[in-house]
Structures are given as C-alpha cells and as structure tokens.
Amino acid sequence: MKQADCIIIGGGIAGLQAAIQLGRYKHDIIVIDSAHGRSSVAKAYHNILGWPDGVSGNQLRNLGRQHAEKSGVEFLEDTVTSLEKIEDKFIVRTENDSHYQAETIFLGTGITDNIPPIKNIYSTLGTSTYICPDCDGYEIMDKQTVVLGGGNTGVKMALALLYWSTDILYVNHLKTTIDEKEREMLKESQIPLFEEEVEEVLVDDEQRLTGVRLVSGQIIEATKAFTAFKGNKLNNELALQLGVQVNENNHVVIHPRTKETNINGVWAGGDLIAHSEQVTISMGDGTQAAIWIHKRLLGQPLPYD
C-alpha cells in the first residue's frame, strides 16, 4: 500500500494550490483527481489577478499541475470511492481498486453544477454563457442577455443582472412555477418572460452565443447568457463517510483559521466549505490549509491544541 504525508482528493483549484504549497515543503503528496471538476469545463475566468484577458479552467489546472509536479507532487487520475480513519492513519480506496495510506487528508471535492444538457451550452461556458454573477456580471455590461433557468431561481438571477444591463430576458426552461410576486417584479423591471424549453444554444464559428432557439422554433437573439438552475450537487460524500461535521447547507464545517475539520487530520477547502464559487477564494483555502497541514506533520501545535 502506497503511503503519503498528505493525500489531496480533488485536483481543482483548492487542491492544486494546497499541492503546490505542500510540495514546496518537500512532503510526500499525492493528488487524486477524477478530472470532472467544475473548473475543467469553464472556458474562461475573468476576475483573477494576473489574467486581464481571462484564463480557462483547463489552462489554470494544467499550469497548477506543472507547478506542483516541479516539487515532486504525484498526480493520479482516479476516483476515490471510500475514505476511512484507522487509528491515526487514513485509508483511501479508489475506483481502480488502488489503496493508499496517508497521515493527513485535504478534501477539495467541490460541487457539480446542475446545467441541463442543452445543445451547445457547454461550448459557450465562460466565454458567453456564465453561472456566477459575482465572477462574470461585468462581462454582460449593456449587452442583451438571456437567463436560462427555472422558476423563482431564474427570476432572482434576472433581477440581479440588471445591475450590469437593462436588456435582460428570462426563459423559464424548466417551466417551474413562478410566484405571483416574482412575476410582478419581472413585469415592473420590463424583463420579458418566456415559459418554454430551450432546444439549443445558437453559436457562431467561434462557439460564442448568438441566441437560443426554443422548442417552438422561436429564436431569441442575445450575445450573453446566464444559467440559473437549482440542484447543484455538493460532493461531500467522502467527508460524511469520515463523520466530518456539515452545516445546515451540507457544507463542511472547518476551523476558520486552519481549515481543519472536526476530524483530526482532515482539512477541506473551496466550494466544499462555502458557497463562494470563487477561484481566488479556493486558492486561499488551499494555501491556508497546507500551511497548517505542514505544522501538523512536523508535530507543531495548532491554535486549538
């Protein structure tokens, strides 16, 4: 059974940043990643220091991996299926029937976005279709923008986007019930409402959105879109296997300074611990956790020891 000082589960932004920091401490680090994280489908991030023209999730991940590998971090493409603590060691088992043992664990398993399989939508993510208004609201400044969503969730997104553009349309793709109060708010804000499924996202030769076609055949022209669907999946199964404490929203509860969970030796970061959905916050989580993992591996006391 292969052993490591720390096994990082999830090679997204938080996991990569933790790996870089721990690798520079010269610890034996293994990153196990399924390669299906949300950062792997984002075509561009626009609000990260040092990337004024944006950077794709894959580019950021590839550079992060190269950075970590320079200090000896090992990467495995696999899916962790079970995680248990036996005495003071952690046993990790994977889909490929591999077993590993670690002194410490960092969980960066994040969330999986609920995006319906609308034709062409994935090819536009991050370039003309967005998920997070805090990240990308700026990108729709004064542009005609269509919100693809369901029920009151889509209404909330459409109203929020008025901060950047007054040319907002809402397609209730799921045809979920919209409360009367929300309907009135759309009307007062002059946001047209279409209660019909989207058949496909229309794109140009560069895979940028030009509009959407509804199942009726009607075409709604727009240069930008936002999705607004409930049901994002928080990937906390491994944390729950260990008995890690979660809050009322099922996010992992961590110590605010160290990022350690209630299970001694288990740290977490990124979207698993808070609904921030920000690359830069995930980076901070990874670095902060790694610093305190290093101290634990050296046997140094943590703030609550």
Pairwise CA distance, residues 111 & 222, whole Å: 28
DSSP 122: G
State the chain's maximal CA–CA distance in angstroms: 65
Question: What's the pLDDT tens digit per position in 126-180?
Answer: 899 999 999 999 999 999 999 999 999 999 999 999 999 999 999 999 999 999 9
- pLDDT digits 0-9 by tens, 167-177: 999 999 999 99
| pLDDT value for 158 | 98
Which pLDDT score is estimated for 305? 61
**What is the rounded distance in angstroms from the CA atom of residue 109 to the CA atom of residue 251?**
11
**Spans of all domains in the chain:** 2-113+232-298, 121-228
pLDDT at residue 275, as a whole number: 84
Long-range (24+ apart) CB contacts under 8 A made by 160-169 are 160/133, 161/133, 161/137, 161/226, 162/189, 162/191, 163/137, 164/133, 164/137, 164/138, 164/140, 165/140, 165/141, 165/224, 166/142, 166/190, 167/142, 167/143, 169/144, 169/145, 169/193, 169/194, 169/220, 169/222
- Write down the pLDDT at residue 36: 81
Do the first three CATH levels of 2-113+232-298 and 121-228 match, i.e. the same topology?
yes
pLDDT tens for the 305 residues of the chain, in order: 899 999 999 999 999 999 999 999 999 999 999 988 888 888 889 999 999 999 999 999 999 999 999 999 999 999 999 999 999 999 999 999 999 999 999 999 999 999 999 999 999 998 999 999 999 999 999 999 999 999 999 999 999 999 999 999 999 999 999 999 999 999 999 999 999 999 999 999 999 999 999 999 999 999 999 999 998 999 999 999 999 999 999 999 999 999 999 999 999 999 999 988 899 999 999 999 999 999 999 999 888 76
Q: DSSP states of 155-182 as a string?
A: HHHHHHGGGT-S-EEEEETT-----HHH
Q: Which CATH class is domain 121-228?
A: alpha beta
- Dig out the tokens for 59 from the structure: 């580019």
CATH tag, 2-113+232-298: 3.50.50.60
